[in-house]
Amino acid sequence: MRRILHLMILVVAAFSCKSEKKRAAVQPTAKDSVVVADPSIPGNFSTQTKLVFDSTRVDSFLTKFPMFKVYESDLRKFYQMRNYAYAWYDQKGLIEQTEDIFNRLTNVHDEGLPEKVIYMTEFRAMIDSAETDVIDNPKPDPYTELMITAEYFNYARNVWTGVDENTSKKLEWFLPRKTLNYKEFLDSIINSIQQGKKIEEPVHPQYSMLREYLKRFREAEKNGNWMAIKTGRKKIVKGDSGEDVRLLRKQLFLSKDLTFDSQSPVFDDSLEAGVKSFQQRYGLNEDGVVGPAILREMNAPLETRIRQIIVNMERARWVSSKPAPNFLLINIPQFKLTVIENNKTAWECNVVVGKEMHKTVIFRGDLKYVVFSPYWNVPPGILKNEILPAIKRNPDYLARNNMEWNNGGVRQKPGPGNALGKVKFLFPNTYNIYLHDSPSKPLFKEEKRAFSHGCIRVSEPKKLAVYLLRNDSSWNETKIDAAMNSTKEKYVTLKETVPVNIVYFTAWVDEHGKLNFRDDVYKRDARLLESIFPKK
């Protein structure tokens, strides 16, 4: 049988102003193992029922291949439901789908995972032997059967769910992990086989889209198409000409920021549009000027971008394959709040997130309250480290900053200059995190917006308030304006809570199909990469 190579063709605030590994060679845990199936394997399993094997073969197989013991429960349940009928054999030998499984394991590198697959040497030998036995002895082998199923489970676990939850929590990802229910997936597999349907791959669409870009970047690296742009100028602007302009044009064409490479050495309108497209994808100021910041991003080694794609493919494995259609999304490295309606972007605005030493937490909450003209209850850390020393230096500090003592602590009263601005948005959580307005408006215009003690400051708070109260007939824009400019705090309970997802993606594909990159503001990527590819 000739082995055909296949490629698998997948977002998905801040502290209330307080701050808040490794795995061995793609190994699963028993807790996370799951039976799933892939849509590109037609029919998925053999429907024959006459060829069966003895259940004791499961015991002897696991004794011989103990690294698969984490799948013991899965193997037994799977074959009990089949009455121990072979899934990968029919009367003619191995079915065609086994070839696809073999090739996927051979090319697991395409999934951004280590190339080492457990028991791959033994698996290869079994497949080769089975191919020979088709002619001489078509009798199915139970160990080959169990090896294929176990490798399938192992592949599914690593490709579709990623590192275990304990590892992701150590990496400070507290957003709920995707869960795959064994029985639901097994029932789905059996029903799909009976109805002749394909089974949907249980991953977020971001995964396959990033995977396709991983393929492109690796091809570009292999072919040597990517060249650093060298220039003696401090910046390149429209109207300039030269070899550096021609090379700039080529690079923007390769990155798909230009649809056509005219090879012209003149910086014209079309090239300026391409530069702005690149700047937009990298979160840079879209002025069409090629300065140090854009050159630094353009000249980053392809291997750096490949690693960035791989770690974000891993993050995409953790999120639900079918997110709720309506929610608020804050991607920390992007410094953006995005309003998602019916699985599409309704609008977005800039946000300010926590400094590296006061990291904004990655988690999910349900927005329940809008608080107009809020008090700011100073967190204990800020009170101790900033407010009390300021009071010691200046006894009038509280009065000058519209603050007052309150139950042993300090709070800032509603009004101009309040640190929370004119409105805050609460989604009760153990991290004491919320979104809020801010009087420091200039910070929203900065490219890199990590300035807070962990709070997420929203650049368009009124627009967000109007949006959240749009279905409440007792509120309109005029009334919201008045409440935001009052000196009295007012709580409003939303009729329906709104999910808020705070995530951390340094690479993603937007709804226009463009690959975006951002700086790893909290230095998380390297630690995650080490968990995927542990050092020896």
Q: Using one digit for the tens of pLDDT, what is the confidence trace for 360-386?
A: 999 999 999 999 999 999 988 899 999
User: Which positions ≥6 away from 6 have C-beta within 8 Å?
Assistant: 40, 100, 103, 104, 107
User: Which positions ≥6 away from 122 have C-beta within 8 Å?
Assistant: 65, 147
| Dist CA 486 CA 374 (whole Å) | 9
Scan for tokens 């959240």, then name that residue.
468
Can you give the pLDDT at residue 35? 37
Whether 172 is covered by a domain: the verdict is no
Whether 470 is covered by a domain: the verdict is yes
Q: Are residues 365 and 263 in the same domain?
A: no
With a pLDDT cut of 90, the percent of the chain lying above it is 68
Residue type, 433: I
Whether 218 is covered by a domain: the verdict is no
Tokens of 300: 């980053």
* Three-state DSSP state, 504: coil
Cβ-in-10-Å burial (0-12, 13-18, 19+) of 369 comes to middle
Query: Which structural domain range is residue 237 located in?
Result: 229-298
Residue 277 predicted with pLDDT over 60: yes
| Dist CA 114 CA 101 (whole Å) | 17
> What are 349's strand-pairing partners?
337
Q: How many CB atoms lie within 10 A of CB 388?
A: 14
Residue 44 predicted with pLDDT over 60: no
| Dist CA 458 CA 259 (whole Å) | 35
Can you give the pLDDT at residue 192? 54
Q: Are residues 80 and 152 in the same domain?
A: yes
CA dist 181 to 175, 222, 452, 504, 528, Å? 18, 40, 39, 25, 25
Q: Count structural domains, the chain.
A: 3
Scan for tokens 């079309």, then name that residue.
270
| Dist CA 226 CA 287 (whole Å) | 24
Look over the chain and give the mean of its residue pLDDT values, rounded to a whole number. 87
Residue 475 predicted with pLDDT over 50: yes
Q: pTM value?
A: 0.86
| Dist CA 307 CA 315 (whole Å) | 13
Residues 139 and 133: beta-carbon distance below 8 Å: yes
Can you give the pLDDT at residue 155? 86
Residue where a domain terminates, one of 142, 162, 182: 162
Task: Give the domain CATH number at 278.
Answer: 1.10.101.10
Q: Are residues 374 and 462 in the same domain?
A: yes
Whether 198 is covered by a domain: the verdict is no
Residues 279 and 263: beta-carbon distance below 8 Å: no
Q: Are strands 327-331 and 490-503 parallel, antiparallel or unpaired?
A: parallel
Residues 369 and 356: beta-carbon distance below 8 Å: no
* Three-state DSSP state, 283: coil
- Per-residue pLDDT band for 29 (boundaries 50, 70, 90) equals very low
Tokens of 15: 């502290």
Residue 37 predicted with pLDDT over 80: no
Whether 401 is covered by a domain: the verdict is yes
